[in-house]
């Protein structure tokens, strides 16, 4: 292998690169199943509002009725169409989940890389502050702030993003430490490349695998947290259609009108499982399990 | 074991037509290997990385790495066929019939176990009634490998031992159940020459004494020539040459064997022509340098000068402080004091406080080519990065890249590749191309060949010589004394943070003034080529055998 030297013909074909993380992950069945499940839920959330038979706040019949004409899954506790509310209730949840996960992972990546690379007082300051925030239970913190400032969408995003950032920062710092040890970082330092450029162009591209895995994981957690907050009445407020809220509203009449609970619960569960399967596939691919002998 | 004792005495290991393939691509990693080793003898298995040496070594233990599989052939140890046995049966035989010494003892020993437990674990099928107590055997085997056998030593953890001691513990662990065959996978690669000499001596006496057959895997002909009774040369998964060591070394039949032999650096050459002292200011002048980490001082009173077009070798074993010194010069290690002058101008400690021009003139090449290149960048961007940062955007970037690659003896088409598409030697050439793209005056080479095969090392050294002929000054850091005489004009021998000897290579090698240098020369395996002229031995006239001993 290492005999190929200068003597190699200039036009010789380069050996193929190892397929990237996404391509490797796609080979696992779990990833494909995860993508299908996630895509199905996302499709419902994105297209749902355009195909729903009623508006989410419109009365469609008597409360908690099932088997009536024009409302496939019956009506909820006020008499609105369950299917329409279900179709409308996804995009807020998904949008908030994705937005907060993206913000959290981005912030966590910055904190983690800076702490892991500089390794000085900044590291101590960032990571100890991080530890303090980590010691707070995520949900209790969210409930506390939401009850003081009132339930607002931007606040939910910020709270969830911050609580993600702490956890992501720890993972990213560890990943950074491994990269920083390598000589190509030293090489960049020797030519005096500014620190921020070393972090952006030498370190960041080499920790994308753990970042992708984290992103998947954080989206899953976001969905769970937002649904929980809505259920507890601290998330989106009535009369907004929202899966978490629907579970709360429908739980009293669950014996007479199960659909108002079953539909959103199924959607949240499928989305969570799907995202988890994708994350699992990504992490397997990044560790290199079952790689085998390629060439 | 049972069987015909006569036959056993003759043959301990027999391999017939062994083939191992990789999944899922079904590529043959080793094909149709036939090998025999007699009791008390050592077979040296030589080849470069990727030739299938380790795969063969592991298959002798009836073990296959993940994704590989034995498809054909048979392995027979002391009359017992290993192939075709179940996993449980094989496991019973391991340690007793065939044992393994891995490359890195640090990762082979369990850091959480004391040596006593660690060694006794290997005696899983020991019969205390017939063979005496396990504890006695543990002490006995430690004495055999020349380690202490007292309770204090047995209570130690692996991290409390030096690298050489760890490797000897690994050897003891392999020999403890008196195996018929022992497989050694580059057991001395990570060790200093002095330690290597001790470990090789231990291996030799252990195999002779107990009539164990050894298979010694290595890429270094010099070590194998010293140790083996028989040599098998592997190339691309096949044994291309096999025979008695003396015959293979004296009269190699296969081209590849010849190439491997030529690549071995000669320990002593007549030296190179001294560049005339121009009397002017040296390019780099280090005076009274002292460096350390925290409160620990690792370098004291270092005085070294490098002139234009000159190569100064910094020779020392691991822990001697040679990397700290080279990093200080490059501005990567800032905790030092003393004179560090480039063309008479004091260099700041940190590279960030030096001028762009100073950074351009001093370039660093790193030890491990597998870690020195950002895996996410193409060769073109890697080579261009220092140029763009230090000298501004070039008018014709492609021309800069092509020239640098050409000087590093790489085809221009490599510019589009990623590091993972390159072999170790090619990666190191990219490292060199990156360093010379800016046209530096001083190249710092930090053990740049130690992670490479001997055959690749020879080519890199040739390349560095050509650069030096172009007027570049080199600070060549190495632990390999054999390389020193092949490249450098002056040598500074570092021992425990101090320079114990400093002078022209010819003088130091032929008449070393310090005990430490003498010991280094004596411990380095040395062998002479009895055929043809080699590129590595340019200007070498039949060196007198070990004048320093």
Q: Please tell me the predicted confidence (pLDDT) of residue B435.
A: 92
d(CA B318, CA B324): 11
Q: What's chain B's average pLDDT?
A: 83
Q: Choose among A286, A289, A133: nearest CA to A215.
A: A286
d(CA B527, CA B545): 9
Q: Choose among B371, B428, B411, B382: nearest CA to A14.
A: B411
Q: Under CATH, to which class is A92-236 assigned?
A: mainly alpha
Q: Please tell me the predicted confidence (pLDDT) of residue B278.
A: 57
Separation in Å, CA of B137 to nearest CA in chain A: 40
ipTM: 0.73
At CB < 8 A and 24+ separation, what contacts does B245-253 make?
Answer: B245/B44, B249/B225, B249/B527, B249/B530, B250/B530, B250/B531, B251/B531, B252/B531
Taken in order of first residue, the domains within chain B and their CATH numbers are 5-108+180-263 (3.40.50.300), 302-537 (3.40.50.300)
- B284-296 average pLDDT score: 87
pLDDT band of residue B71 (cuts 50, 70, 90) is: confident
Are A41 and A267 in contact by the 8 Å Cβ rule? The answer is yes
Which chain B residue is nearest to residue A292, measuring alpha carbons? B67
pTM: 0.76
A3, A17, A182 ranked by CB distance to B420: nearest: A17
Judged by CB atoms within 8 Å, which residues 255-294 of A form the interface with B?
291-294
Asked whether the predicted pLDDT for residue B539 surpasses 60, the reply is no
Q: Please tell me the predicted confidence (pLDDT) of residue B3.
A: 43
Are B329 and B340 in contact by the 8 Å Cβ rule? The answer is yes
A1, A15, A184 ranked by CB distance to B374: nearest: A184
Q: Please tell me the predicted confidence (pLDDT) of residue A290.
A: 53
Express each pLDDT in A174-198 by its tens digit.
999 988 888 899 999 998 889 999 9
Q: Best residue in A5, A11, A118, A187 to probe B by mutation, most B CBs within 10 Å?
A: A187
Poorest-confidence range of A63-67, A184-188, A281-285, B143-147? A63-67
Q: Best residue in A190, A201, A203 to probe B by mutation, most B CBs within 10 Å?
A: A190
A12 contacts chain B (CB < 8 A): yes
Express each pLDDT in B413-470 by its tens digit.
888 888 888 888 888 999 999 999 998 999 999 888 887 887 788 888 888 988 888 8
Q: Please tell me the predicted confidence (pLDDT) of residue A173.
A: 92
Highest-confidence segment of A99-103, B27-31, B131-135: A99-103
Express each pLDDT in A207-247 by its tens digit.
888 888 888 889 888 888 888 888 888 877 777 888 888 88
Asked whether the predicted pLDDT for residue A201 surpasses 50, the reply is yes
Poorest-confidence range of A60-74, B198-212, B288-302, B346-360? A60-74
d(CA B424, CA B370): 7
Contact B390 A192 (CB under 8 A): yes
Q: Write the burial class of residue A2 (CB in 10 Å: 0-12 exposed, 13-18 middle, 19+ buried).
A: buried
**What residues pair up with B286 in beta bridges, in sequence order?**
B304, B340
- B220-229 average pLDDT score: 85
Omega prior to B541 cis, within 30 of 0 = no
A191, A202, A295 ranked by CB distance to B386: nearest: A191
Asked whether the predicted pLDDT for residue A258 surpasses 50, the reply is yes
Poorest-confidence range of B272-276, B292-296, B328-332? B272-276
pLDDT band of residue B544 (cuts 50, 70, 90) is: very low
Contact A190 B374 (CB under 8 A): no
Q: Please tell me the predicted confidence (pLDDT) of residue A176.
A: 92
Where in chain A are the domains? 29-89+240-287, 92-236
**Three-state SS letters, B449-506:** CCCCCHHHHHHHHHHHHHHHHCCCEEEEEECCHHHHHHHCCEEEEEECCEEEEEEEHH
Three-state DSSP class for residue B235: strand
- Around Cβ A114, how many Cβ atoms within 10 Å? 21
d(CA A293, CA B292): 45
Which chain B residue is nearest to residue A10, measuring alpha carbons? B411
- Around Cβ B166, how many Cβ atoms within 10 Å? 22
Asked whether the predicted pLDDT for residue B97 surpasses 50, the reply is yes
- A270-280 average pLDDT score: 88
Contact A182 B371 (CB under 8 A): yes
d(CA B85, CA B71): 14
A17, A186, A192 ranked by CB distance to B421: nearest: A17
Contact A4 B374 (CB under 8 A): no
Could you say which DSSP state residue A53 is in? S
Q: Please tell me the predicted confidence (pLDDT) of residue B9.
A: 53
d(CA A290, CA B24): 10
- Residue A44 gets the label, from left (phi > 0), alpha (psi -120 to 50) or beta, of alpha
Radius of gyration of chain B (CA): 25
A2 contacts chain B (CB < 8 A): yes
C-alpha dihedral sign at A209, A213, A216, A218: negative
pLDDT band of residue B8 (cuts 50, 70, 90) is: very low
- B492-496 average pLDDT score: 89
Express each pLDDT in B389-420 by its tens digit.
998 888 888 999 999 999 888 888 888 888 88
Structure tokens at A107: 């912030």
- B170-199 average pLDDT score: 84
Q: Please tell me the predicted confidence (pLDDT) of residue B536.
A: 45
Q: Please tell me the predicted confidence (pLDDT) of residue B448.
A: 87
Separation in Å, CA of B440 to nearest CA in chain A: 12
Q: Please tell me the predicted confidence (pLDDT) of residue B269.
A: 59
């Amino acid at each position: 292998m290492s005999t190929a030297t200068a003597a190699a013909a200039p036009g010789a074909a380069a050996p193929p690169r190892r397929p990237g993380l996404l391509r490797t992950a796609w080979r696992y069945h779990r990833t494909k199943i995860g993508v299908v499940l996630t895509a199905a839920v996302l499709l419902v959330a994105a297209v749902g509002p355009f195909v729903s038979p009623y508006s989410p706040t419109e009365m469609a019949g008597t409360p908690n009725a099932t088997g009536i004409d024009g409302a496939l899954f019956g009506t909820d506790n006020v008499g609105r169409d369950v299917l329409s509310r279900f179709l409308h209730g996804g995009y807020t949840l998904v949008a908030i989940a994705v937005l907060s996960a993206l913000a959290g992972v981005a912030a966590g990546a910055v904190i983690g890389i800076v702490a892991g690379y500089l390794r000085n007082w900044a590291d101590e300051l960032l990571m100890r502050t991080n530890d303090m925030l980590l010691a707070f239970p995520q949900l209790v913190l969210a409930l506390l702030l939401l009850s003081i400032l009132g339930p607002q969408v931007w606040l939910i995003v910020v709270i969830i993003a911050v609580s993600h950032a702490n956890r992501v920062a720890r993972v990213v710092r560890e990943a950074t430490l491994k990269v920083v040890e390598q000589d190509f970082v030293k090489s960049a330092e020797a030519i005096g490349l500014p620190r921020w450029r070393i972090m952006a162009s030498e370190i960041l591209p080499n920790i994308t695998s753990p970042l992708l895995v984290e992103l998947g994981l954080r989206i899953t957690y976001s969905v769970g947290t937002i649904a929980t907050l809505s259920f507890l009445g601290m998330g989106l407020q009535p009369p907004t259609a929202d899966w978490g809220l629907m579970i709360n509203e429908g739980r009293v009449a669950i014996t007479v009108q199960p659909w108002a609970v079953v539909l959103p619960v199924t959607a949240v569960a499928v989305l969570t499982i799907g995202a988890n399967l994708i994350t699992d596939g990504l992490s397997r691919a990044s560790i290199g399990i079952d790689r085998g002998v390629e060439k | 074991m049972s069987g015909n004792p006569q036959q056993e005495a003759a043959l301990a290991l027999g391999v017939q037509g062994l083939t191992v393939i990789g999944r899922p691509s079904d590529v043959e990693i080793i094909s149709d290997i036939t090998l025999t080793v007699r009791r008390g003898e050592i077979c040296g298995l030589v080849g470069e990385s990727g030739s299938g040496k380790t795969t063969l070594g592991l298959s002798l233990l009836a073990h296959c790495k993940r994704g590989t599989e034995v498809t054909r052939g048979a392995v027979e140890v002391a009359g017992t066929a290993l192939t075709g046995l179940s996993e449980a049966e094989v496991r019973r035989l391991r340690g007793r019939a065939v044992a393994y010494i891995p490359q890195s003892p640090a990762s082979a020993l369990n850091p959480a176990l004391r040596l006593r437990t660690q060694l006794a674990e290997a005696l899983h099928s020991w019969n205390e009634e017939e063979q005496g107590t396990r504890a006695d055997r543990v002490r006995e085997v430690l004495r055999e490998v020349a380690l202490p056998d007292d309770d204090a030593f047995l209570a130690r953890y692996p991290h409390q031992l030096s690298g050489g001691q760890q490797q000897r513990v690994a050897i003891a662990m392999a020999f403890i159940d008196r195996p018929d065959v022992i497989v050694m996978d580059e057991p001395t690669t990570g060790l200093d020459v002095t330690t290597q000499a001790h470990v090789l001596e231990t291996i030799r006496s252990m195999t002779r004494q107990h009539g164990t057959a050894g298979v010694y895997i290595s890429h270094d002909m010099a070590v194998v020539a010293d140790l083996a009774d028989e040599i098998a040369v592997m190339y691309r998964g096949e044994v291309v040459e096999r025979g008695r060591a003396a015959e293979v070394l004296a009269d190699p039949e296969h081209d590849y064997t010849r190439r491997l032999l030529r690549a071995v650096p000669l320990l002593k050459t007549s030296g190179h022509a001294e560049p005339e002292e121009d009397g002017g200011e040296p390019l780099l002048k280090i005076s009274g340098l002292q460096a350390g980490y925290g409160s620990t001082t690792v370098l004291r009173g270092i005085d070294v000068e490098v002139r234009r077009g000159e190569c100064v070798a910094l020779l020392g074993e691991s822990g001697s402080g040679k990397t700290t010194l080279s990093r200080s010069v490059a501005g990567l290690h800032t905790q030092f004091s003393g004179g560090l002058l480039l063309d008479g101008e004091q260099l700041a400690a940190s590279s960030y406080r030096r001028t762009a021009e100073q950074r351009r003139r001093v370039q660093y090449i790193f030890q491990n080519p597998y870690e020195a290149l950002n895996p996410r960048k193409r060769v073109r961007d890697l080579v261009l990065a220092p140029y763009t940062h230090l000298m501004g955007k070039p008018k014709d970037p492609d021309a800069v890249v092509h020239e640098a690659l050409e000087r590093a003896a790489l085809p221009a088409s490599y510019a589009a590749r990623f590091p993972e598409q390159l072999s170790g030697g090619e990666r190191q050439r990219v490292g060199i191309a990156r360093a010379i793209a800016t046209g530096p005056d001083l190249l710092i080479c930090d053990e740049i060949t130690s992670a490479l095969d001997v055959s690749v090392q020879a080519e890199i050294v040739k390349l560095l010589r050509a650069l030096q002929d172009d007027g570049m000054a080199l600070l060549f850091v190495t632990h390999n004394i054999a390389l020193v005489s092949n490249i450098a004009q002056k040598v500074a021998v570092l021992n425990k943070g101090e320079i114990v000897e400093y002078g022209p290579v010819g003088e130091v090698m032929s008449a070393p003034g310090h005990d430490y240098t003498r010991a280094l020369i004596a411990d380095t395996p040395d062998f002479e080529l009895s055929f043809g002229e080699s590129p590595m031995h340019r200007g070498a006239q039949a060196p007198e055998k070990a004048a320093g001993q």
